[in-house]
Amino acid sequence: MRDPADEGRTHEMTLPGGSGARIGYARVSTPEQDMSLQIDALERAGCSRIFQDVASGAKAERKGLDEALAYLRPGDTLVVWKIDRLGRSLAHLVGVVEDLRSRGIGFRSLTDPGMDTTTASGALIFHIFGALAAFERELIRERTKA
């Protein structure tokens, strides 16, 4: 039953990011790879600053990513060219995006439709990713017990 006091009110979901700066992150795995496509796309997307790494995605320590994460402020959005440029695994990706969300920072991938946590649909997709990562961890845990 609807409350008459709610008539005319809109109920909005508070989403992180979107109101501040767009900060880019670009990564290639080897020095032989060209990062210019990523950088051009991030610049066209309005990124005011772009952090870079030349490192395998499997490496836990990436100086450019660490600097980008430290630089971001509430209201900012971290932008990547492609989602696999950010995370080493689904669990790592979800962890990074969840940390950003808890700090009031959004996340957007330019080439992956719907990967924008500053929108309701993008936030939903990341909740699904989180559930899949938890499922994956549970399967691994069960296999190690068997």
Q: Domains (ranges, CATH) in the chain?
A: 22-145 (3.40.50.1390)
Distance CA 27, CA 56 (A): 8
Q: Confidence class of residue 18 from pLDDT cuts 50, 70 and 90?
A: low
Q: Which secondary-structure segment (H or E) carries 94?
A: helix 90-102
Residues sharing a CB contact under 8 Å with residue 111, sequence separation 6 or more, in sequence order: 41, 81, 82, 83
Does 29 qualify as catalytic in the annotation? yes
More confident residue, 128 or 137: 128
pTM for the whole structure: 0.79
At residue 3, does pLDDT exceed 60? Answer: no
Residue 86 is given by DSSP the state T
Q: List the alpha helices (DSSP H) in 45-89.
A: 63-71
- Edge-to-edge strands, sheet with 106-109: 49-54, 22-28, 77-80, 106-109
Catalytic residue among 29, 56, 102, 109: 29
Residue identified by tokens 């939903």 is: 124
Distance CA 19, CA 22 (A): 9
